[in-house]
Chain A
Amino acid sequence: GQQVMQIPQYQHVQEGEDFTTYCNSSTTLSNIQWYKQRPGGHPVFLIQLVKSGEVKKQKRLTFQFGEAKKNSSLHITATQTTDVGTYFCAGPETGANNLFFGTGTRLTVIP
């Protein structure tokens, strides 16, 4: 079945260090979305990428969609304690219209 894996599963960084999470799908995705879930909170939409090779930036966050549209990455420059949370990628499930969420990367930022 379709799988969307993220690595790493957990990441601890010192405040100010950079962070990257990678998302890999077993199938080609028409688009990919990224969500952030703070501890005790709910997933919140960050961004959607649609085009092959697309790169989008939101302040310190850089999102990239792979050329083959099977992988994506989220890079955070100079992490802050407010970046703490679990980051999920999500793509359309093959043959369906619901989102298939990745396994998530839990980020801890040490002050």
Chain B
Amino acid sequence: DTAVSQTPKYLVTQMGNDKSIKCEQNLGHDTMYWYKQDSKKFLKIMFSYNNKELIINETVPNRFSPKSPDKAHLNLHINSLELGDSAVYFCASSPRLDWDLTDTQYFGPGTRLTVL
């Protein structure tokens, strides 16, 4: 009955590979996000999806592409992995996108990506 789940929890891979991280939420939320947390614990938003539409695309390399097959899923695909991509990636969701009041975000457990 996990609210926001991610797989895998750990991912170790070689430079140049392509990998995907999956995220699912069973909260019925409209908006999902991907965050990157670096070794200094800084949390930076990468993408958000609202009703299957990409609404925010931060200045991340185009090697990163979010894919949302439906409202409950937002997967992150990464091409040609680089050493600097090593980080913890968190998926999150929120009930809606409200211009007046930012919603509380519910985070998944995170995926620790290590690029060798």
Contact between B42 and A104, CB atoms less than 8 A apart: yes
Contact between A50 and B33, CB atoms less than 8 A apart: no
Is B106 part of the binding interface, using a Cβ–Cβ cutoff of 8 Å?
Answer: yes
Contact A88-B43, Cβ < 8 Å, known A42-B107, A42-B110: yes
Is B97 part of the binding interface, using a Cβ–Cβ cutoff of 8 Å?
Answer: yes
CB within 8 A of A43: which of B98, B99, B101, B107?
Answer: B107
Q: Which range contains the number of B residues in contact with the other chain?
A: 20 to 34
Q: How many A-B residue pairs have CB under 8 A?
A: 56
Contact between A97 and B104, CB atoms less than 8 A apart: no
Interface membership of chain B positions 4-45, coded 1 if the CB is closer than 8 angstroms to chain A and 0 otherwise: 000000000000000000000000000001000000011111
Contact between A31 and B110, CB atoms less than 8 A apart: no
CA distance A21 to B105 in the complex (A): 21
Is B116 part of the binding interface, using a Cβ–Cβ cutoff of 8 Å?
Answer: no
CB within 8 A of B101: which of A30, A37, A104, A106?
Answer: A30
Query: Chain B residues in contact with chain A, CB under 8 A?
Result: 33, 41-45, 48, 55-56, 90, 97-102, 104-110
